[in-house]
A and B are shown apart, each in its own frame.
Chain A
């Protein structure tokens, strides 16, 4: 049974649906439910959560029966570093300014890939920064400070 779970596409899909539905019903349990003819804000989420749980159960059991494997390789690095680069950009925009935030974004996102050549990334960063400043700040007039001091 244990070996059949790892990489079992449908099992994990089913689990995802099940727990999402359960989570939704849990969070929405205090929203006023109302009646079918006069629905409250909680009616719809509870019904949907319930449906998701049902679907989740069906798919989980199907997965246990069929055991189709997940396709394709994973890159843990991409999964972690890429979102991190985006978050960093968001954090840096106000305190550091447009250009430093972009620079960090380019470098960190490039680092999430398999092929990283420093000089190349540096050139790419310069190119993208110049292009972005020209396009967004100067061309489209977005009101972001280029570099924030103080």
Chain B
């Protein structure tokens, strides 16, 4: 072949190479290029930071960058919808939590997707229990006193929450129902919930442990119960609601990895194994526990059945509380 022909052949080969669609999803080849990890909440929150921690380790472990992208908005629905519509080739993943996955389907009318069927669970990273906190000066150092105050005070108690339909709101509702007291819901946008609670203007709050850890440690907020089934490793001295006489009470948050429905099984398994290994590492475990998250892990099926249970539980609570997001 003359020089011109060789040149042409080289260009043609290059052109064909560029034309080829995305990399194959064969598990040993995966990941062959950077992976997007979508987080449906704003950058800087504890979940976001813990996700970034895990993603950094994933990048190191699997050899290609796992880039975290924040797509906040609409209670997590914008980011979730984005991943639902993404190509299930393993290069778009998501870290999501209880709200958008298990609650929003019931809370929002006309949600244009179904997070239970449109997303494949990969692995549960951690449980983030809610802790029932009261202001330090409120004279309600334990659950019994709080309930007593609720029955005695005119107008009932008031509680802060991080928003309508959040686990913070719904857990408080569950508590008020179970204890048979009047409790008025005072919703806030995210972290604003703490100001009035710290000042004693509100009586209690179910908050995720990471968000109130600083205040518990400084003594301004008293933890009187945790909402998980087992005691939290971050607050081992605090009893669970179940221990305090409310059987079956489990109302916490959690977060985990998800992939669009139809992502190849080998990819999911590889990710699952990698994350399981990562969260067992001592430094990662320590940081999570300090922040208030209990690492979980486990196989994808365990996560899926957990989600199904959560969905049914929250469906009931949302309907009873009458909360809606129109």
Contact of A143 among B18, B21, B22, B67 (CB under 8 A): B67
* A-side contacts of B19, CB under 8 Å: 150
In the complex the two chains form, what is the Cα distance from A149 to B69 in whole Å? 20
Give the nearest-CB partner of A150 in chain B.
B21
* A-side contacts of B182, CB under 8 Å: none
| Chain B: interface size category | under 10
In the complex the two chains form, what is the Cα distance from A123 to B89 in whole Å? 39
* B-side contacts of A150, CB under 8 Å: 19-22
* B-side contacts of A149, CB under 8 Å: 18
User: Closest CB-CB distance, B48 to chain A, in whole Å?
Assistant: 14
Mark out the residues of chain B between 20 and 46 whose CB falls within 8 Å of any chain A CB in the assembled complex.
20-22, 36
* A-side contacts of B67, CB under 8 Å: 143
- Per DSSP, chain A at the interface is loop
* B-side contacts of A143, CB under 8 Å: 36, 67, 69
User: Closest CB-CB distance, B98 to chain A, in whole Å?
Assistant: 25
* A-side contacts of B36, CB under 8 Å: 143
In the complex the two chains form, what is the Cα distance from A143 to B19 in whole Å? 23
- A-B CB pair tally, cutoff 8 Å: 8
In the complex the two chains form, what is the Cα distance from A149 to B17 in whole Å? 11
User: Closest CB-CB distance, A142 to chain B, in whole Å?
Assistant: 10
User: Closest CB-CB distance, A81 to chain B, in whole Å?
Assistant: 30
In the complex the two chains form, what is the Cα distance from A150 to B21 in whole Å? 5
Mark out the residues of chain A between 115 and 143 whose CB falls within 8 Å of any chain B CB in the assembled complex.
143
Give the nearest-CB partner of B36 in chain A.
A143
Mark out the residues of chain A between 87 and 145 whose CB falls within 8 Å of any chain B CB in the assembled complex.
143
Give the nearest-CB partner of A145 in chain B.
B34
User: Closest CB-CB distance, A127 to chain B, in whole Å?
Assistant: 27
In the complex the two chains form, what is the Cα distance from A143 to B92 in whole Å? 13
User: Closest CB-CB distance, B17 to chain A, in whole Å?
Assistant: 10
User: Closest CB-CB distance, A8 to chain B, in whole Å?
Assistant: 40
User: Closest CB-CB distance, B67 to chain A, in whole Å?
Assistant: 4
User: Closest CB-CB distance, B323 to chain A, in whole Å?
Assistant: 14
* A-side contacts of B18, CB under 8 Å: 149
User: Closest CB-CB distance, B65 to chain A, in whole Å?
Assistant: 9
User: Closest CB-CB distance, B231 to chain A, in whole Å?
Assistant: 39
Give the nearest-CB partner of A32 in chain B.
B326
In the complex the two chains form, what is the Cα distance from A149 to B36 in whole Å? 16
In the complex the two chains form, what is the Cα distance from A149 to B14 in whole Å? 14
User: Closest CB-CB distance, B265 to chain A, in whole Å?
Assistant: 23
Give the nearest-CB partner of B67 in chain A.
A143
* A-side contacts of B22, CB under 8 Å: 150
In the complex the two chains form, what is the Cα distance from A142 to B21 in whole Å? 24
A-B contact pairs, 8 of them (CB 8 A): A143-B36, A143-B67, A143-B69, A149-B18, A150-B19, A150-B20, A150-B21, A150-B22
Q: Known pairs A143-B69, A150-B21; list 6 more (Cβ under 8 Å).
A: A143-B36, A143-B67, A149-B18, A150-B19, A150-B20, A150-B22
**Chain B residues at the A interface, C-beta cutoff of 8 Å:** 18-22, 36, 67, 69
Instruction: In the A-B complex, list the 5 residue pairs whose CB atoms are closest, starting with the nearest.
Output: A150-B21, A143-B67, A150-B22, A143-B69, A149-B18
